[in-house]
Amino acid sequence: MRNDGLPRQSGEREASALSITWELQEQDRETFARELDAFVPDKVIDIHAHLYQAHWWADEPPHVTAGPAEVGAKAYREHMEWILPGRDLEALYFAYPFPTESGEDTFAANSWVAAQVAGEPNGRAQFLVRPTDDPDWVREQAAALGFSGLKPFSFYAPGERTWDAEIPDYLPASLMEAANADGWTITLHLVRSRGIADASNQHWIRRYCEAYPNAQIILDHCARGFNPHHVLEGLPALSGLSNLWVDTSSVCNSLAVSAVLDIIGPERMLYGSDFYVSHMRGTNFGVGDTFLWLDEDNAPPAPVYAPDFRLPLVGIENLRAVKAAVQLARLTDSQIEDYFRGNAARLLAR
Ligand SMILES: [Zn+2]
């Protein structure tokens, strides 16, 4: 369904899923103009940008089906105009992790990402790794492809319950050693029920940061702060680690961002989009001791007091959450510019 009069984006295919859309709506433009245009600086580094080809998935997620079949650097940039219109954008790219049994497939994905990044201004990328990858092979291949970081992901951990994996199950010390030797970044998406409030997660992050001081760990999604109470409870255990960074990608609650600002500090907080998650319509929020996502498939109908309500883009909701936290923390203009660009430039220049 498309009633906004805006053009279809290049490469866009018909959504096969029930109600999932992939489109820019007038409300996205209005919200950005009203609340975000004066907040977001001209130059941005997106520290969390996934590139992908739809055929990587045996069973494509509905948003991948609804959007372009290939999201290389060019398609990513075109679509980021929905979230950051007119901004001068650089990114740290990595392949969207996809479930596969074949090591060759991750290698093909990494090679394809490398080709995408080659033509990008200051383009940088992380190597999608599985815990079984030989660290010497990873160092060799990543260097040959021009990568400067690692992107592990929990569902490459052994066993069925990958959402309950402990960090070494998907990021073994041998890969930390490789990252440490080359001063690489590692973007880490925490799992386990309580995220950063989990004692095992806290233990391994501290241990890895201390044992491998050249490696720079980026905890994504506000240290998986979709439930901000987990961040308030758990992140203080990780204060004082100078090689620990946090990206705020796709988190839609302000309290998690406030907690990161307070506990980690504005100089190590980074903007990230989590493209394509940024282009889903919906939100996420803490409830009880966990968090939930609302999207176009599971959201309740528009309420009577707002009959025209349509779900916002996650990427816009994320920016609003960040803005509120930044405003209440009274960050200066230069601290805001550092969040959007300066901190990432410092991190990536290492
Ligand atoms: Zn991501």
Distance 275 CA to ligand 1 centre (A): 7
Distance 308 CA to ligand 1 centre (A): 31
Distance 50 CA to ligand 1 centre (A): 6
Say whether domain 43-299+308-348 belongs to CATH 3.20.20.140.
yes
Contact 306, 338 (CB under 8 A): no
Distance 141 CA to ligand 1 centre (A): 22
Distance 231 CA to ligand 1 centre (A): 18
Distance 302 CA to ligand 1 centre (A): 29
Distance 274 CA to ligand 1 centre (A): 5
Distance 49 CA to ligand 1 centre (A): 7
From first to last of its 350 residues, what are the pLDDT tens digits of the chain? Answer: 333 333 334 444 444 445 899 999 999 999 999 999 999 999 999 999 999 999 888 888 888 899 999 999 999 999 999 999 999 999 999 999 876 665 568 888 999 999 999 988 888 999 999 999 999 999 999 999 999 999 999 989 999 899 999 999 999 999 999 999 999 999 999 999 999 999 999 999 999 999 999 999 999 999 999 999 999 999 999 999 999 999 999 999 999 999 999 999 999 999 999 999 999 999 999 999 999 999 999 999 999 999 999 999 999 999 999 999 999 999 999 999 999 999 999 999 96
pLDDT of residue 233: 98
Cα dihedral: 165, 247, 152, 79 (round 10): 120
pLDDT of residue 155: 85
Distance 227 CA to ligand 1 centre (A): 17
Give pTM, 2 decimals.
0.94
Instruction: With CA atoms as reference, report the closest residue to 311 among 288, 282, 335.
Output: 282
pLDDT of residue 101: 60
pLDDT of residue 123: 85
Distance 281 CA to ligand 1 centre (A): 16
Distance 5 CA to ligand 1 centre (A): 30
Ranges of each domain in the chain: 43-299+308-348
Distance 220 CA to ligand 1 centre (A): 8
pLDDT of residue 122: 84
Instruction: With CA atoms as reference, report the closest residue to 202 among 242, 163, 237.
Output: 237
Distance 94 CA to ligand 1 centre (A): 9
| Residue 43 bridge partners (DSSP) | 88
